Structures are given as structure tokens and as C-alpha cells.
A and B are shown apart, each in its own frame.
Chain A
Amino acid sequence: MSDDIQLDGQCPKGPLDQRWTQHKYNLRIVSPANRKHYRVIVVGTGLAGASAAASLAEMGYQVKTFCYQDSPRRAHSIAAQGGINAAKNYHNDGDSVWRLFYDMIKGGDFRARESNVFRLAELSTSIIDQAVAQGVPFAREYSGYLANRSFGGAQVSRTFYARGQTGQQLLLGAYQAMSRQIAEGHITHFSRTEMQDLIMIDGQAKGIIARDLLTGELTSHLADCVLLCTGGYGNAYYLSTNAKGCNTSAIWRAHKHGALFANPSFTQIHPTCIPQHGELQSKLTLMSESLRNDGRIWAPKNPADCGRDPREIREQDRDYFLERMYPAFGNLVPRDIASRAVKHICDEGRGVGHEINGQKLGVYLDFADAIKEQGSAAINEKYGNLFDMYQRITAEDPTQVPMRIYPAVHYTMGGLWVDYNLMTTIDGLFAGGEANFSDHGANRLGASALMQGLADGYFILPATVSDYLARQKPLADDDYPEVAKAMGQVTDRLRLLLNAPEPKHTPDYFHRQLGQILWDNCGMARNAGALKNALGDIKTLRQQFWRELKVTGSDKQLNQTLERAGRVADFMELAELMCLDALQREESCGCHARVEHLTPNGEVQRRDIDFSYVSAWRYSGNVSEPILVKEPLHFDFVSPGIRNYQ
């Protein structure tokens, strides 16, 4: 199932710190007078989509934007809590673009491109300038200058933040920039509208079929290029920290039209989430990573203590396992390492809290020592809003009883394969933000998702999309047979979803089962046997889905069950690709821990000679038999070392 053709990321050559500057100079531009003749479609209005749409519209292109929410302001970027990195070196603590670049390359366990990651580090500073000018109320010091904190194990203070709502404030900045362009007539926006398929004309992406979620009406929209900024696919696991509507449908449709899907199994599992409380739970909630700065993570040494009130468990009967296993970094080890350790403890039968499927899934995150040392006022000042949130959800006060946490799916590093210009393998189809695979390798460093979404949207896509358009003639408004064909396929698919032969179960019923298969077999620890079983289970479940899916109501009205069914159908196919990818990658790296490839201490062990490449999968016409195309990774400026946090 492997393809000998090697992918070329079109990365520029030459000194790393000159590449983007030189590349921009080589890119073509469209003259201001001609820009109004070009049309651009942007699907998704999160950080990447909203910032790209606003920037392209400011330049003078005609932009159409689409989101499934009732307003572009509600895209899931809004939920990001922690912050955004930028190599401003405001703390004079030795930070630089080079250091941020190195931290990201290392954090991603040497599975990302040097050129892309360097560009991201380089653009990080302009993002902060832009956001401040838009009125984003970042935290400030008493001096009036911008405040920074250290985050996610970084050794410098480079994270800018707006209390625990950095994503919200950055998104509102981009949303307002977009609103201005809507008012000026450069953007036509469609809310409550979901992309159903891509329109391909002569091998190029030239538009989309969209469904008005209120009336069910299908419409076609043509353009000179299409940008997918539709976020990640963590909801394949059913339970995740993603919003309920987050889905893979747009990028999966594109994949089936020929866009390669890169590193689909690279999923970030965040260690500090509130544990599941019941079988009918609909989503998981993240507790900011910053809690690990003061909280100590522990589990009872003795499984017999797991049901007891934690306050009654004596100090010597507690196992502060991260401090024990990783004395140098302690509770601040990177996300993937902390998550695996927590899972390991619970698998040993030392978990605490609610029992789910016969296993207690949770460990304690304890603030008692921090409160003793710093006083409850100081701790509340730092984490008060998070404590309130925790108490709201669990009805327990974390200043009195230790918090319970468990890892949860949070972010997907994989996504559509893109070259240095963020163009997919489909001519004219671009992908930005979490929807692409570009910058985070096998593990994303904290506070770099917001940075990537905005770098793509404000600075990279405007330049590379212009270059693409400069080489196109504006698409004539003709009757293209491809439009009617795409429309027909969408209609057929909706009909299938509504008319399963033996309707019995809701879309959520299937989604929960799919999530369980993925979580058990393609989650924090993976092995060949389990992955092979999962592949079989997914196929069986998919057949059952198309046979027994039950959707009530029609497709000519607001029908949230039908929307969900369409998204679950795509997750059913993507899940198989995720498992195939995890199975094929016979090494461990970053978040991808194959139990066959761990060090004797249980750490991930890369196999650079055999696996220093990006796995990009081509759809072959059969979901179960995709073709692997490799993009080799070259490291000219850093040498891949062992990610040691002990």
C-alpha cells in the first residue's frame, strides 16, 4: 500500500532565517485593480478562517465565508484558555525566534518541517502586534507593558494571555476585522451553513456545495480557490474537549477528492481534564495546563485506598508519581508524557473517582501544599476561575478536596497535507489552522495552536493565495456540469442518511461506540494487535451504521440529527485511516506511543532511520486501502535528539 513517489513540500532553500523573506519576494502578486475580479471561498471562521478572510478581503478580493454556527464568533478557537507564544523576548530571558523554533521542533519530536516551524516562530511577534492594535485586551503589568508567563514546560516567559480566555479575545479580534469587511461589502458571510462537498473543475478546486442548515437548501458557490479552515477532528473519539459540532467533514470530503491526509493518528491527549462522570456524558472539559505549576499530581500507593476520602490518605501512602518518575521536570513534563503516566497508574488499578466500564479513571491534582506555602489568597488569585469551573461541573471545592483529573483528546496535529504555501495536493485548495498538518509534528507545544491559526490566516495565506490567483484567470460564470454532478452526489448521500434500511439507532449511539474503539486502541498507548482488531471493529460498525441509522424529520428543515449523522459518517471512515496510520508507523514519537517501541523506562523511542518522514495518505477509491506517500524530513539546522525530560 505504499507509493514510491515522494512528496515535495516546496520548501525554500538557503539560510533558515531568510527563507520566508526570500520566498515572499519570489511569490507573484495580483495588481490592486485586478483583485476584485477574483473570488475566494473560506470555510470555517475560527482563528485561521476569520483572519484569512479579513486579510484577503482587505486586499480587495471578493470573499465568501461559511460557518455551521449561528455566528462566526462562536468557532471553537474561542475555547482556548492558556495563551499564545511569541518570541518577543520582553523578559530578556534569552528568548529568540531561534529558541522558539527549537522548542517547537523538539516538542514535536522532530516530525515537522524546519522551514515551516521557523516561519511560524518568525511570524509570532507580528501576531501580537496585530492583536494589540485590534484591541485584544492582553494581560498587562503595572508598568502598562504586556505581561508574559511561562507555559507548558518552556524555560522562558513568552506566553501572552488574556486571563483564561485568550482564544476568545483573539477570535473576537479576527471576527471584528471580518465584520468590518462584511460591512464594507468585501465579504459575503453565510452562518448556519455547512459545506457538503468540494466542486472540482478540470482538476482544480473551484467551489463548494453548501447546505443551509435552517431550510435544508443546497446551493453551489464558485470561486477561484477554496480555503478550508475547519479545525481538527478530535471528535472522532466522541468524547473530547472539542465543541460538539467540530467535525472532519470538509477535510474528509477534500481527501476523497484527492487531497492527501497527513499523520492522521497524531492526536494530542491533554493530561488535565475533568474525568468522565457517566455513560451519557457528552463532552469533556479541559482544566488549563497552568494548574500543574502549583498542583501536585498523585494517586494512592495502595489500590485499597482508592475509594477513600483523599484527605484521610496519609502522606506516606501517596504516590506523587510524576515527581517520582521525572525528578527534573516533576509535574511539568510535556502533555504526552504526563498523560501516559496517568493512564499507566489507572491501568494498575490505582485510579480514583467515578467508575466507567469497571475502571476508576482519575488521579488527584492537589493544591493543599501550594495553599499551605503561598496562602489561599495567592492560589485563588491565580486559579480562582478554574476552581469555580471545576466546582460547577463536579460539585467539589478543589481548595478543600483535591481535584480529580484524567487525560482527554484535545487537539489533532494531523490534517490535510499542505506544502510550504499551505496548498494541499489539490490545485487551488488550501488548508489553514488545525485543519492542516503543517507545524506541530508529533506533539503540539502548549500555546502554539492560536499562534499557528493566526500566522496562517493573517500572514501566510494572504501571500500564497495571491501568488496562486496571479497564475489563474478568473473563473467565468458558466454552467459547469461538475456543479450539477456534485449537487447530485450530495443529494444522494443525504437520502441515504435519511433512509437506512433498518432504522434503529441514533447517530450518537454509533458515535459513542466509534469513540470507544478509537480511545481504547488508538489512544494514549497503541499496539499492532489492538489496532488490527480496531480496524475490523470499525468496518463492522460502519456497515451497521449505514444499515441501522435512524434520523427522524426531513432534509428540508432544521434537522440537527441529520447534521450529526453526516458528520459521524465521515468520522467512521477517518477512524479507519487513523488506525492504519498508527499501525504503519512502527515507532513511537511524541503523542504516538506504540508499546512495542518504548524504552525500558516506558519513554517513546523514535526510529529516525526508518520513520523520519511525514505519512501522507492518498484515497484510492476504497477507504480501507489508502496509499501511503512519504515526505522525507530533513534536518539541516537542528539535530534530532532524544526528548529527555527526566
Chain B
Amino acid sequence: MNFILHIWRQTNPQETGEFVRYQLDVAEDSSFLEMLDALNEHLIETGEQPVAFDHDCREGICGSCSLVINGEPHGRHKATTSCQQYMRDYRDHNELWIEPWRAAAFPVIKDLVVDRSAFDRIIQAGDYIPVRTGAAPEANTQPVAKQVADKAFDAATCIGCGACVAVCPNASATLFIAAKVSHLSSLPQGQLDKKRPAKMLARMEAEGFGSCSNYRECERVCPKQIRTDTISKMNKLLYQG
């Protein structure tokens, strides 16, 4: 398969980047990132700097990879991360536009790599259950209804990739926060902290993310299919708190 690639190249956070055109022949069983690997090997061999991009587990769970492919965060195939896109998914294309997440709170570091440390700071603002190591009671002391546990799990699957922010016209991190709040606050262990949603939303604002105005683009691109009903739940808790 032969592709014309337009890849966002940017040397550092200060400079303005631009799309650079490359041409590449690639096997259709290749994953999208293997296609970039092949391009990079070629660039290094010809003395050029390879394209920087974040990736690690390459099985859709670590949340590192973060490509906008033809305008779609994580590419055209739904409910998967960039690393689980395969070139055969793009059989009907011959031009691909590849760029980084775009959001004020996720500044570009280099090429396709962005700084997502704001997500860590949001978690630090109170998204945990404060139990000391060793202080826990026997696990089966407190039963949790299966439906509640399953619902908590659905929200807990967030991998913190930031696609929800990248796609949102407001660059809001509301789905990211709502997923965590929804996970922790539905479990009896996490119900003590009534201020959790307020603390996190305040941090979100301080980090420069926008607010939610119900575009619901986030749930469309979420690789873990986290729903916006988590946002409703969070809002309910917010007003209760």
C-alpha cells in the first residue's frame, strides 16, 4: 500500500510547526505505529531526525499513544487507541494527515508529542481514596452490589489518553474527571469525600481546560467507550456536595 503522509513536525514548544509531506510503501498488516516506525528507520538512515511520537504498550491500555489521524483523535476505527489502528483500515485512502492532540492545556513538546501532565495534577487534586497502606479491613466486610461494581468498572477503564480533550471544541477534560469521580464515588469506600467533584473541576479550570457544553464529542472518540452519563452523575454529586 502506498501512502502520502502529511505529518506535523515541530522542533520544540516555542517554534511554530508545519505539515511535512512524506511518501511511504507499507504492508497492510502493519499497525499504524509500525508504519511510523518504518518511516523513522528510513529517516534515520538518511540522516534526518525521526518523527517523535508517544507510545509504549502498543496494545491499547497504557494510554500513551495520541495521534489525530485525518482529523479524528485515535483514527477512524472506533473504540480503540492509535496503536490498534491498522493500515488495512485505510485501504481506501491514499493521503493521511497526522497531527498531535490540540489543546491549550496539552502544549506540543515536539512533533506528535504533547505534555499531558495536567491530567496527573488533576488526579493529585483529590481523585483518590485516602486509605493508608495496612489500614484496610477484610475485603469482604462490605459487600458491593454487582450492578454498582460493574458501573464503577465501566468508568474506571479510562486510560487517561486525552482523546476527549483533543476532540472537544472547548478542550474540556470533563469526561476524564467524570470517569474518575464516577468510579470512586459510586463505591462505598469512596463516598466520604463529598468535595471530590468540586476540587477536580477547580483544578481543571486552573490548568487551562475549557468547560463542558454538552457537545458529547468526547464519548464518540473515547477508546474505552466511557459515556457522558458519568458527567451527569458527577454533576449530581457536585450539587449534593
A binds B: yes
For the complex, count residues of B whose C-beta is within 8 A of A: 79
Q: Give chain B residues whose Cβ lies under 8 Å from the Cβ of A277.
A: 29
Task: Answer whether A78 and B61 are a contact pair too, CB < 8 Å, given A135-B189, A144-B145, A392-B86.
Answer: yes
Q: Give chain B residues whose Cβ lies under 8 Å from the Cβ of A146.
A: 139-140
Of A135, A138, A165, A561, chain B has the most CB atoms within 10 Å of the CB of A135
Q: Are A183 and B133 in contact (CB under 8 A)?
A: no
Q: Are A282 and B34 in contact (CB under 8 A)?
A: yes
Q: Give chain A residues whose Cβ lies under 8 Å from the Cβ of B152.
A: 135, 137
Task: Answer whether A129 and B137 are a contact pair too, CB < 8 Å, given A180-B128, A243-B56.
Answer: yes
Interchain CA distance A154-B115 in the complex, whole Å: 44
Q: Give chain B residues whose Cβ lies under 8 Å from the Cβ of A145.
A: 140, 143
B153 interface neighbour in A128, A137, A509, Cβ under 8 Å: A137
Q: Give chain B residues whose Cβ lies under 8 Å from the Cβ of A149.
A: none
Q: Give chain B residues whose Cβ lies under 8 Å from the Cβ of A244.
A: 55-58
By secondary structure, the B interface counts as loop
Q: Give chain B residues whose Cβ lies under 8 Å from the Cβ of A162.
A: 153, 156
A169 interface neighbour in B138, B156, B190, Cβ under 8 Å: B156
CB distance from B147 to the nearest CB of A (A): 9
Q: Give chain B residues whose Cβ lies under 8 Å from the Cβ of A638.
A: none
Contact of A375 with B by CB under 8 A = no
Of B49, B88, B131, B152, chain A has the most CB atoms within 10 Å of the CB of B131
A132 interface neighbour in B153, B160, B189, Cβ under 8 Å: B189
Closest chain A residue, CB of each to CB of B119 = A71
Interchain CA distance A71-B162 in the complex, whole Å: 12
- Provide the B182-197 mask, 1 if CB < 8 A to any CB of A, else 0: 0110010110000000
A140 interface neighbour in B123, B146, B183, Cβ under 8 Å: B146
Q: Give chain B residues whose Cβ lies under 8 Å from the Cβ of A283.
A: 58-59
- Provide the A53-80 mask, 1 if CB < 8 A to any CB of B, else 0: 0110010000000000111111010110
Interchain CA distance A133-B131 in the complex, whole Å: 7
Tell me which residues from 109 to 167 in chain B have a Cβ below 8 Å from any Cβ of chain A. Answer: 109-110, 113, 115-117, 119-120, 123-140, 143-146, 149-150, 152-153, 156-157, 159-160
Q: Give chain B residues whose Cβ lies under 8 Å from the Cβ of A214.
A: 109
CB distance from B155 to the nearest CB of A (A): 9
Q: Give chain B residues whose Cβ lies under 8 Å from the Cβ of A551.
A: 44
Q: Are B37 and A144 in contact (CB under 8 A)?
A: no
Tell me which residues from 131 to 175 in chain A have a Cβ below 8 Å from any Cβ of chain B. Answer: 131-135, 137-146, 162-163, 165, 168-169, 172, 175
Q: Are A135 and B190 in contact (CB under 8 A)?
A: yes
Q: Are B129 and A163 in contact (CB under 8 A)?
A: no
Q: Give chain A residues whose Cβ lies under 8 Å from the Cβ of B211.
A: none
- Provide the B84-109 mask, 1 if CB < 8 A to any CB of A, else 0: 10101000000000000000000001
A135 interface neighbour in B117, B129, B137, Cβ under 8 Å: B129
Interchain CA distance A458-B128 in the complex, whole Å: 17
Q: Are B117 and A280 in contact (CB under 8 A)?
A: no
B120 interface neighbour in A71, A79, A137, Cβ under 8 Å: A71
Contact of B208 with A by CB under 8 A = no
Interchain CA distance A558-B41 in the complex, whole Å: 17
Q: Give chain A residues whose Cβ lies under 8 Å from the Cβ of B88.
A: 395
Interchain CA distance A17-B43 in the complex, whole Å: 59
Task: Answer whether A137 and B187 are a contact pair too, CB < 8 Å, given A71-B160, A557-B12, A558-B52.
Answer: yes
Q: Are B149 and A138 in contact (CB under 8 A)?
A: yes
Contact of B30 with A by CB under 8 A = yes
B109 interface neighbour in A139, A552, A558, Cβ under 8 Å: A558
B27 interface neighbour in A168, A179, A191, A278, Cβ under 8 Å: A278
Q: Give chain A residues whose Cβ lies under 8 Å from the Cβ of B7.
A: none
Q: Give chain A residues whose Cβ lies under 8 Å from the Cβ of B146.
A: 140-142, 144
Q: Give chain A residues whose Cβ lies under 8 Å from the Cβ of B57.
A: 74, 76, 78-79, 243-244
Contact of A599 with B by CB under 8 A = no
Interchain CA distance A162-B152 in the complex, whole Å: 11
Q: Are B48 and A179 in contact (CB under 8 A)?
A: no
Q: Are A179 and B59 in contact (CB under 8 A)?
A: no
Closest chain A residue, CB of each to CB of B58 = A283
Tell me which residues from 190 to 231 in chain B have a Cβ below 8 Å from any Cβ of chain A. Answer: 190
Interchain CA distance A370-B49 in the complex, whole Å: 51
Of A88, A244, A508, chain B has the most CB atoms within 10 Å of the CB of A244
CB distance from B137 to the nearest CB of A (A): 7
Q: Are B133 and A128 in contact (CB under 8 A)?
A: no
Q: Are A132 and B129 in contact (CB under 8 A)?
A: no
CB distance from B88 to the nearest CB of A (A): 6
Interchain CA distance A172-B62 in the complex, whole Å: 11
Interchain CA distance A126-B144 in the complex, whole Å: 19
List 11 additional A-B contacts (Cβ < 8 Å) besides A69-B62, A140-B144, A278-B29: A73-B123, A74-B56, A129-B139, A163-B153, A168-B61, A177-B133, A393-B84, A506-B41, A552-B49, A557-B110, A558-B113
List the 5 closest pairs (A to B, CB-CB), nearest first.
Answer: A144-B143, A176-B128, A133-B136, A129-B136, A55-B133
- What are 24 of the A-B contact pairs (CB < 8 Å)? A51-B133, A58-B132, A70-B116, A74-B160, A130-B131, A133-B139, A134-B136, A135-B187, A137-B152, A144-B145, A144-B149, A168-B61, A169-B156, A176-B129, A179-B124, A243-B58, A243-B62, A244-B56, A282-B34, A285-B59, A552-B44, A552-B50, A558-B109, A561-B40
